[in-house]
Each structure stands twice: as C-alpha cells, then as structure tokens.
Amino acid sequence: MVVAAAREIRDGEVVFVGMRLPLLAFCVAKATHAPAAYGLFESGIIRDEAASDLLYTMCDPPNVAGAASCVPMSVVMSLLQRGDVDLGFIGGAEVDRYGNLNTSYVGSCSAPSVRLPGSGGAADIASLAGRFVMVMQHERRRFKPRVDYVTSPGFGDGPGWRQRMGLPGGGPSATLESWHHGASVDDIRGETGWDLRVAGDAHPTVPPTDEELAIIRQYDSTGFWTK
C-alpha cells in the first residue's frame, strides 16, 4: 500500500501528504521517481526533501528540522484554495461507490454507533486538490454503497456533481487498475458493497522493488506503520 501510494506521486508535484502510510509514501517517492516533489503538511510544514527519521505525526521534530518552511496552518490551506496542490492523500472509515469518504460517525447522526475523528483538512483536500487518493484497508464494511455521512466529497451522487457544486478539484483519481499479491479480482469484489467495475487492462500490482523496500525499512525499522 505504501509503494502503491508513492507511485501516485509525480515528479515536481505539490503533494498534501496527510497522516499514516502517506508519510512513508512521500519518502519513497522522493528517494526514487519524484525527487522534485514538494510535501505539504496540515500543521504548516512545507518540505522539499523527506524527513530524516520516521514520522509518527506530521508535527514531529524530524519533520520540522530541515523544512523548507514552517508557516501558520492557514498558509498551507490557502495553497489548496489557490489551486497550487496537485495531489492530496486522505484516509477514511468508509467510502462509497462515488468516492465519498466518511470520517465523522457510523450510524445515524442522532445516535451514532461509532464516533470518528471528523474532517480535519480532509474535506478541503477532497474539494480543492487537483486530485486525491484514498489509502485505506479494503473491507466490505468500509466499502459501502452509500456512506453514513459525507465528510469529504468524492463525486457526490454521480457524474457532473462536482461541477454542479462548484468544486474546482478533480476528485478521486485511482481506480481498480491492479490487485496486490495474495488477492484477486474476485476477492476485491467480495469485499466491496457494490457491483465493482474493473478496468479492462487490470493486472497484478507490480511488486515493490528492492530499493523501495529498503527505503521503507530504513524509515520504519521497527514496523510501526508497516508491521
């Protein structure tokens, strides 16, 4: 998942990195195919090189040391509003067939069975980034026909919705183009709550290279994010 996320980053892009696995994905991309990518962090940190040590949160000292800039949160969020962000990473508890994400609650709003952390900057990223990619575990309970609450918009209720709502960002950009080792298309369909369409040229995911694995193991030597 880390390597698949890293491969979504193109050289020279401005990337809203987010939390968890994308923290590692940015390091892999910077050290391999995207050395000119820039990383933005919601805490106000802007980096033109990867942090020197593992990040547990975006505010950790290794992310501050050597940063290109440390600015108020409003500054990095304004870069989204200006259209300067090419790609954003988002995680979620639920996603539906139109790429809408829920990180607010599970169940009804009046009596939720689970309360979630909320939006943070995710709704801004989903609305304003040139495109966004969701990094989350593929389970049927998460991949629902309709999320219980739309925290971060994908394509709303279908084609044309983003344009009607005036959202300048492009929305979700990655589809079922490949499946990881140990899985199959049938497995993925079985863990999806709707009739999943598969790209005609779908194929097994190209395995991580030795270099990509070495970078991940260098940063995450104890397996904090990848164990």
Instruction: Give the pLDDT confidence score for residue 143 in this predicted structure.
Output: 95
Model pLDDT, residue 130: 95
Gyration radius of the chain's alpha carbons: 17
- Residue 176: the pLDDT is 86
| Residue 32: per-residue pLDDT | 97
Q: What is the pTM of this model?
A: 0.92
42 part of the active site: yes
pLDDT (0 to 100) of residue 175: 84
| Domains along the sequence of the chain with CATH | 2-219 (3.40.1080.10)
Provide block-wise average pLDDT over 10 residues at a time, the chain (227 residues). 96 95 96 97 95 93 96 94 95 93 91 90 94 93 94 94 92 87 93 90 94 96 93
Catalytic-role residue among 8, 13, 42, 94: 42
